[in-house]
Amino acid sequence: MSTTTEGPAHPDAIERPVAARVGAGIFSPRQLRTSFPEALRKLHPRHQARNPVMFVVWVGSVLVTVFAVLEPSVFTVLIAMWLWLTVLFGCLAEAVAEGRGKAQADSLRRTRKESVARRLTPDGAQEQLPGAELRVGDLVVVEAGEAIPGDGDIVEGIATVDESAITGESAPVVRESGGDRCAVTGGTTVLSDRIVVRITTKPGESFVDRMIALVEGARRQKTPNEIALTILLSTLTIIFLLAVVALQPMAVYSGSRQSPVALTALLVCLIPTTIGALLSAIGIAGMDRLVQRNVLASSGRAVEAAGDVSTLLLDKTGTITFGNRRATELVPLGGSAAELAAAARLSSLADPTPEGRSIVELTTGVHGLPAEAGAAELAATFVEFTAQTRMSGIDLGGDRIRKGATESIRDWVRERGGEIPASMDEVADRISGEGGTPLAVAKESGGTATVLGVIRLSDVVKPGMRERFAELRSMGIRTVMITGDNPLTAKAIAADAGVDDHLAQARPEDKMALIHREQEGGRLVAMTGDGTNDAPALAASDVGVAMNTGTSAAKEAGNMVDLDSDPTKLIEIVAIGKQLLITRGALTTFSVANDLAKYFAILPAMFVAIYPQLGDLNVMGLATPESAILSAVVFNALVIVALIPLALRGVRYRPATASGLLRRNLLVYGLGGIVTPFAGIWLIDLLVRLIPGIG
């Protein structure tokens, strides 16, 4: 795989504003105007029944409302009102999260252009038809100034393309046939030249269509972790329900019967309503953060898996290094430099890769050889590079020239009875030890095969990669660099980049074997890829991120597609997944912890009349039983509103080990979940006690 990137990933990308593409704040008036009606619709019992915790609150709200109508009092009416607000605030959190996605979906819809396609007929003529009528396999011509009518691969030509409508990047990119960057997205605009595109998707199934369906889909499947947490919250709710139901017989026996309103308020305050109300919004916002970074995930399961990844497989070229390896030196072995330059040029004339083009440029600039192929050279037989042979070349007349990995060239020469120069290994080892990549050049003429020399390809590690890998290491994630280079080159670049391990001379089956070995140890594996040969490994990995510019096979095999085609984004994806899990865990810790303060507020107030000793537990000095219960219910509702921005934005993520994250959660959100309600309920009680009939 040889993948390049349009530019280095932003090192602080995980901290960028979530709503950068939508252009609206979390609680902007426009956002609230569109979300509030949807929140009201979510009050329907069929919707509430999907969330067991909030359904209990909904039933309690109905029950208290009935008592407020039959036996009206200031206390009962206020409790009913705040219980309904608790349900409404939970619906609003989900509606705001979905509304942000729908706003982005509308923005994406505006990027789609109803274009007229020029389809090529079998006889080479062109026919015009609407882009929506194109089918898979159709060939369309797109020239400068025209919009690409559908997703596809360039099969002829090279052009600069404006992808800002899809990726948000203003700088145009180069797309060309025959390489790793041949894929184009429907709705983007060709700025120069002429290309022929083979359509690869059906109408309505383009990446833009799939992104729209992803970000606006209100009906989403719950992830395994979300289902497990829902079961836990439901269990806690049942336990507290049984406990509250058991209180009434005890109260009757003690001669202090409690009103159903007070018992309902106690139940709502004790069950984990905070996380129950925000759980759905957290999941939706996690998917939204991926979409904001132009990553299309097939499901929330993939996002969660990214958060649990413990091994990252990173391709060297374009991910760890800049990817544009260039020929910088020709080292002749026994023969003349001119003969080596001529052979290197001939073997690279039909090589469409950046490395092949750089070899032609080197022989042209330094040795004065022609850049274009002559008539005789055009009639030659070109041998394409494959992952199995790891060679390419040309058969011209009676001569056969090959260029490739030193091991492959050695075997090729020996098969033809040729001798290997003793200095070849020494030169190759020296180039590899210096971080370069050696390519040997051999020629068979008159039945004799000889090694002419070695080409040095140089690559550069991207700045900041060592620091990013150190962060991943602090998170307990192991990084493995995958490369087709020889072991010495791979070792030098791996040491320079700071990865934990490397796999050299990697073939598709080697990648698969490595993934299976890692998974057998109970680890989750993530990798990036863009070629057809990467498809098996992408499918086998737990998180497979395919590049949008890659082949259709790679994009179908992975469970995520990066529209920016930036392989380094895999590191961001892992951080987003971890941020999702951390946010869910932090708010769950806070929700369970703040029940303790509400326990101290309500229970002493309910039974202090018959057990005066409970007055010692009224550490907040709450005025009356009614004010204590109402203050707890009001706080229970308001805390949901206060935490909506955190649920949508996500807890600030800092690389740390699992034990470090646990300590942080317990100290910040566990201790905070205990202290905050004490202060909040006390302040609310100062206001509530002023209400006639309460204080």
387 is in an annotated binding site: yes
- Is 355 annotated as contributing to ligand binding? yes
> Are 366 and 341 spatial neighbours (Cβ–Cβ below 8 Å)?
yes
pLDDT in tens, 172-227: 778 878 766 777 878 788 888 889 998 888 777 766 676 666 655 534 566 777 88
What's the pLDDT at 44?
92
| pLDDT for residue 9 | 37
Q: Is 390 left (phi over 0), alpha (psi -120 to 50) or beta?
A: left
- Given this model, what pLDDT does residue 102 score? 67
| 3-state SS assignment for residue 609 | coil
> Smallest Cα–Cα separation from 348: which of 317, 321, 327, 376?
327
Contact 529, 535 (CB under 8 A): yes
Paired strand residues for 561: 296, 546
SS3 41: helix
Spatial CB neighbours of 614, under 8 Å, sequence gap ≥ 6: 603, 604, 607, 608
Q: Which residues of the chain have pLDDT under 50?
A: 1-25, 218-219
Does the annotation flag 193 for ligand binding? no
What does the pLDDT read at residue 21? 39
In angstroms, the CA 385 to CA 392 distance is: 4
Q: Is 123 annotated as a binding residue?
A: no
CA atoms within 13 A on the CB side of 523: 17
**Alpha carbons 220 and 620: distance in angstroms, whole number:** 43
- Please, which residues have CB within 8 angstroms of residue 267's CB and are 6 or more apart in sequence? 56, 60, 240, 241, 244
Q: Among 315, 485, 564, 566, which one carries the catalytic annotation?
A: 315
- Report yes or no: 583 and 254 within 8 Å, Cβ to Cβ: no
Instruction: Describe the crossing of helices 569-607 and 300-307 by its angle, rounded to 10 degrees.
Output: 90
Residue 554 vs residues 13, 545, 550, 574: alpha-carbon distances, Å: 25, 9, 7, 20
The reply, when asked if residue 391 is annotated as ligand binding, is: yes
474, 655 Cβ separation under 8 angstroms? yes
Active site residue 616: no
Query: For residue 208, what are its two tokens?
Result: 């833009």
Nearest by Cα to 202 from 140, 259, 136: 136
Cα(525)–Cα(123) distance, rounded to whole angstroms? Answer: 48
For residue 161, what are the CA distances in angstroms to 188, 194, 554? 7, 11, 22
Domains assigned to the chain:
29-100+216-290+577-689 (no CATH), 134-202 (2.70.150.10), 295-320+462-563 (3.40.50.1000), 325-456 (3.40.1110.10)
Alpha-carbon distance values, 209 to 105, 128, 186 (Å): 9, 23, 10
Q: Are 317 and 483 in contact (CB under 8 A)?
A: yes
